Structure 1
């Protein structure tokens, strides 16, 4: 008895913990004000598909990163070889496929005996803290091939993405966005979620700009390595490839109006080291042109007429005031160490998000009521006990999600409804096993014990196999798929507990309390009664003996299985934009008919876009195929989407873009 009481105490403790964890999600504000803040703020947050907002997936251009590092190491190596009078002939500098870790630099030694010097110098200039070398040197006869070490590139990508996340987060915080979320996803992508933002156009420009600023002197006769750069007007400048000053020394920047001509300019301030270097370089190069290069474009190229002390400067160009402000913001927050391209964009308007919440709640409540009514109608008071356990089960799932700080999404709501369905299966199985034992004449308590024992193995097996499938979804899925998997996994654990442990305890308590005051032992041995009319009707109906017709059943199953597999080949599956790439836009254009919308789209050069009336009047669904699959223009779909939105907005000023899904070729 003591053991059972202790077990019951543990069950009650678990249930109370789950209910207390879930309670802040439904408590009214008047009660929350009287409770501790740490408790009331622990609630489920809504995903972007429920509250509205934008989701951007940015991919890092690791190919550009590897090329930059390889150029840097190879330049240092070749410069050191020249200083030691090692003669060579440079033959090639090539990049491999974009998914490869790097390209290669190839040169030929005039004297094959210098191979050892090449190895020694390569190690000196690329030695890492762990003792390894960032460069792999392969020498065949007199031909030297330089590539980046694989372990180095892996660590380089990891460090670069970590720095990129911080830069992206700083830029978003500077814009004043409410609680933006910036996280790593996979090996080379950054996920940005912005609740409440229905038009991320400006943010995309902000995040798509690397803002790598460097200072270069104009090339002269003594310059060894030169490069050509253009400004916004198309003028070409011949500059030294060597960087005179890095933009990383900038500590502050602001977009202001010039006191001289009233034009927007960007003022900047350098740190102490940068200020000292800037003063020295301007003192030694009076009369030379110093070009300021921002993302491979010359923004200004003034002539240095005197020493510039103090570390302060001004960038002039054809800026508007907002452009000057954005440029200053990017300089303040630092340059992105690697270019980022938008490979996926998902935007949900606030109205569509609120509709999704209402629809999810209504469907969930309706499904729950139908399930509970079914259980009570079939199994009477025993079904009512199972229904009570189902309600506790859902509360425990909400409590667990709250404790883990999970985000509730539409797939999560689907997972909750599916959890209830699986929990009902377990309760039906238990009640049927108890019915079978009661028909054999077993007393109520014994029938419950044996029924639960017989159902236990089946329940655990079915839930365990489902848990394996859910684990695979979590491992290989992303975003909402992982949320769905987590919800199902928590629901499986909770449903096993409520169905096997809690329901059994409640049923035994009901049986024992019913016979607590009776002294009639015969009465205590009465079997359980399932008096539902539906059950009595089902008992009268003769079932189908599938085992007697097993050969026919197996043959039909094989035929249906083969036909189902054949349908994969023809007509085949119809893939959505998540698999094929492309853009899908849901919009409401109150003043445009279908033909007028089609004319607007086609007149702006979007010939491949399919238009479909969707839902209510003036609500349309647009589908556009992926523009580029080579990866060279991965922002092309994002640019197409922005251009399409501008064209439709010009034709209908009242248009609202309810949902946008853009998936690039790399996804």
Structure 2
């Protein structure tokens, strides 16, 4: 008895915690104001299809990323070969193509004996922490071809996208958007969802700018590799290709009005390492032009007249104040490690979202009432207990979703409705097993124990197989599909708890409380009685051998399946033939 009481206490504790977790979603504002903020803010977020907002799918330009890495490794390799007096002739540098992982750098050795030295040097320069090399070196006769290793490029894309997600999230948070969602989509895309935003023009401009900022000295007679860059006015600057200072050292930036001429400028501050490097490079290059390049455009190119200590600087240019603010924002949050392009854009209006909520709530309430009414109509008070357990099941699901900070979408509402339907299966199975044992003359408590024991294995097996299918949806799906899978999975776990544990406890509690009111031993051994018109009808139909007609049923099923497939193929052909062909 003590063990049962302790078990009941644990069950009640689980239910109460779930109800407390789900409560902030339905509490009125007047009550929320009297409760702690950390509790009232823990609510379900609504997805774009329910709340309205903008949806952007950004694709990463991995080709530019591969080209940059290959250029970096090949430049270091060639520089090291020159220092070792290895003579070569550079023949080609093919850029990355859409149908390949990366480009290649080809050069010809003047002496074939230097092949081993090239491979050893390439490994030293591109060695990774796991012991592999980022460069693949292929040498045929005296021709050397450098390409990026496939495993390295896969890891590079993965790391770059993870950093891009963080940069995008920081930029959106800086703009003051309410709960933007930034997640990886597939292998090379980022999904951005912005609830409540109807015009994402400014955000698109913000996310479409890489904000790669570098400092370059103007080329002179001692410069080895040079490049030409233009500013907004079309002026061309001849700069050293070598980066003098990376923009990643910037820790803070702001768009302000200059105290000297009142024009908008961008002020920045470097970290300690960047400040030391900036002071050293300006001290050693007094009188030279230092160009600040932002996304391949020269923003400003001042002459360094003195040492610049302290790690503070100012970027002047033809900025408007909003442009200066946006530039400062991007410098604060860091540069995107790879260019992003918008490949999909959708906007959901708030009216459509509210209609979806209303439709989802109405269908959910209607389905719940029908299920509860069905259970009570068939099994009477035992059906009422099962219905109560179903309500607790939904509360458990809502509590778990709130606790995990999930976002509720329209597929999620569909998952909740489906969860209730699947939870009913377990309750019907349990009641039927108890009914079978009661027909055999078992006492009420014994029939409940044996009925639950017999139904337990079937319930676990059916829910486990469904979890396997749901896990595949979660693994290979994305966005709303994953939300649907999570809702179903939580619903399955909670339905097993409520059907097997909670319902059994409540049924035994009802039977034992009834027996306490009577001292008649014979009365205590009276079996449970299930009586309703629907059950009597099912008992009459139990004599019909449905399996005897299995061949006819199978034939009808095959015919209907073939007919449905033919209709779908015909519809697809009609749609394909009527679509306009792009020139």
TMscore range, shorter length = 0.7 to 0.9
Measured at CA, do residues 411 and 223 of structure 1 come closer, stay the same or move farther in structure 2, by a change above 3 Å? same
Measured at CA, do residues 226 and 549 of structure 1 come closer, stay the same or move farther in structure 2, by a change above 3 Å? same
Question: How far off its partner does 1:142 sit?
Answer: 1.3
Mapped contact 1:63–1:99 kept (Cα < 8 A):
no
Question: How far off its partner does 1:96 sit?
Answer: 4.8
User: Mean alpha-carbon deviation: is it higher for 247-256 or for 30-39?
Assistant: 30-39
Measured at CA, do residues 97 and 546 of structure 1 come closer, stay the same or move farther in structure 2, by a change above 3 Å? farther
Measured at CA, do residues 527 and 295 of structure 1 come closer, stay the same or move farther in structure 2, by a change above 3 Å? same
User: Mean alpha-carbon deviation: is it higher for 123-132 or for 492-501?
Assistant: 123-132
SS at match of 1:72: helix
Question: How far off its partner does 1:249 sit?
Answer: 3.9
Mapped contact 1:452–1:504 kept (Cα < 8 A):
yes
Partner Cα separation in structure 1 for residue 135 and residue 427 of structure 2: 63
Partner Cα separation in structure 1 for residue 10 and residue 258 of structure 2: 72
Describe the superposition over 1:301-335 as per-residue Cα deviations: whole angstroms up to 9, x where unpaired: 45667776776554444433212221222223322
Using structure 1 for the length normalisation, give the TM-score: 0.75
Measured at CA, do residues 62 and 365 of structure 1 come closer, stay the same or move farther in structure 2, by a change above 3 Å? same
Partner Cα separation in structure 2 for residue 490 and residue 308 of structure 1: 59
Measured at CA, do residues 105 and 458 of structure 1 come closer, stay the same or move farther in structure 2, by a change above 3 Å? same
SS at match of 1:547: helix
Partner Cα separation in structure 1 for residue 440 and residue 476 of structure 2: 49
Mapped contact 2:86–2:114 kept (Cα < 8 A):
yes
Mapped contact 2:219–2:240 kept (Cα < 8 A):
yes
SS at match of 1:176: coil
Question: How far off its partner does 1:409 sit?
Answer: 2.2
Measured at CA, do residues 5 and 292 of structure 1 come closer, stay the same or move farther in structure 2, by a change above 3 Å? closer
Question: How far off its partner does 1:109 sit?
Answer: 0.4
Measured at CA, do residues 392 and 229 of structure 1 come closer, stay the same or move farther in structure 2, by a change above 3 Å? same
Question: How far off its partner does 1:467 sit?
Answer: 1.0
Mapped contact 1:546–1:553 kept (Cα < 8 A):
no
Describe the superposition over 1:354-390 as per-residue Cα deviations: whole angstroms up to 9, x where unpaired: 3333332222222211211122122222211111111
Measured at CA, do residues 540 and 310 of structure 1 come closer, stay the same or move farther in structure 2, by a change above 3 Å? closer
Partner Cα separation in structure 2 for residue 537 and residue 73 of structure 1: 80
Question: How far off its partner does 1:75 sit?
Answer: 0.9
User: Mean alpha-carbon deviation: is it higher for 414-423 or for 208-217?
Assistant: 208-217
Partner Cα separation in structure 1 for residue 63 and residue 402 of structure 2: 41
Q: What is the aligned partner in structure 2 of residue 263 from structure 1?
A: 263
Using structure 2 for the length normalisation, give the TM-score: 0.85
Question: How far off its partner does 1:184 sit?
Answer: 4.5
Partner Cα separation in structure 2 for residue 256 and residue 250 of structure 1: 17
User: Mean alpha-carbon deviation: is it higher for 285-294 or for 449-458?
Assistant: 285-294
Mapped contact 1:24–1:40 kept (Cα < 8 A):
yes
Partner Cα separation in structure 1 for residue 264 and residue 307 of structure 2: 24
Mapped contact 2:67–2:96 kept (Cα < 8 A):
no
Describe the superposition over 1:595-639 as per-residue Cα deviations: whole angstroms up to 9, x where unpaired: xxxxxxxxxxxxxxxxxxxxxxxxxxxxxxxxxxxxxxxxxxxxx
Question: How far off its partner does 1:508 sit?
Answer: 2.8
- Equivalent positions of 1:1-400 (< 5 A) are 1-32=1-32, 35-98=35-98, 100-129=100-129, 131-219=131-219, 223-258=223-258, 263-270=263-270, 274=274, 290-301=290-301, 313-400=313-400
Measured at CA, do residues 383 and 303 of structure 1 come closer, stay the same or move farther in structure 2, by a change above 3 Å? same
Mapped contact 2:107–2:144 kept (Cα < 8 A):
yes
SS at match of 1:39: helix
Partner Cα separation in structure 2 for residue 280 and residue 405 of structure 1: 49
Partner Cα separation in structure 2 for residue 146 and residue 449 of structure 1: 72
Measured at CA, do residues 539 and 222 of structure 1 come closer, stay the same or move farther in structure 2, by a change above 3 Å? same
User: Mean alpha-carbon deviation: is it higher for 59-68 or for 464-473?
Assistant: 59-68
Mapped contact 2:64–2:96 kept (Cα < 8 A):
no
SS at match of 2:546: coil
Describe the superposition over 1:628-661 as per-residue Cα deviations: whole angstroms up to 9, x where unpaired: xxxxxxxxxxxxxxxxxxxxxxxxxxxxxxxxxx
Partner Cα separation in structure 2 for residue 505 and residue 83 of structure 1: 82
Partner Cα separation in structure 2 for residue 164 and residue 276 of structure 1: 28
Q: Which runs of 5+ in 1 are unaligned?
A: 562-667
SS at match of 1:548: helix
Measured at CA, do residues 431 and 286 of structure 1 come closer, stay the same or move farther in structure 2, by a change above 3 Å? closer
Question: How far off its partner does 1:538 sit?
Answer: 4.5
SS at match of 2:279: helix
Measured at CA, do residues 501 and 283 of structure 1 come closer, stay the same or move farther in structure 2, by a change above 3 Å? closer
Measured at CA, do residues 332 and 392 of structure 1 come closer, stay the same or move farther in structure 2, by a change above 3 Å? closer
**Pairwise CA RMSD:** 3.2
SS at match of 1:549: helix
User: Mean alpha-carbon deviation: is it higher for 424-433 or for 255-264?
Assistant: 255-264
Q: Which runs of 5+ in 2 are unaligned?
A: 562-583
Question: How far off its partner does 1:426 sit?
Answer: 1.9
Q: What is the aligned partner in structure 2 of residue 458 from structure 1?
A: 458
SS at match of 2:54: strand
Mapped contact 2:66–2:96 kept (Cα < 8 A):
no
- Equivalent positions of 1:500-519 (< 5 A) are 500-519=500-519
Question: How far off its partner does 1:193 sit?
Answer: 3.7
Question: How far off its partner does 1:114 sit?
Answer: 1.4
Partner Cα separation in structure 2 for residue 424 and residue 342 of structure 1: 45
Question: How far off its partner does 1:97 sit?
Answer: 4.5
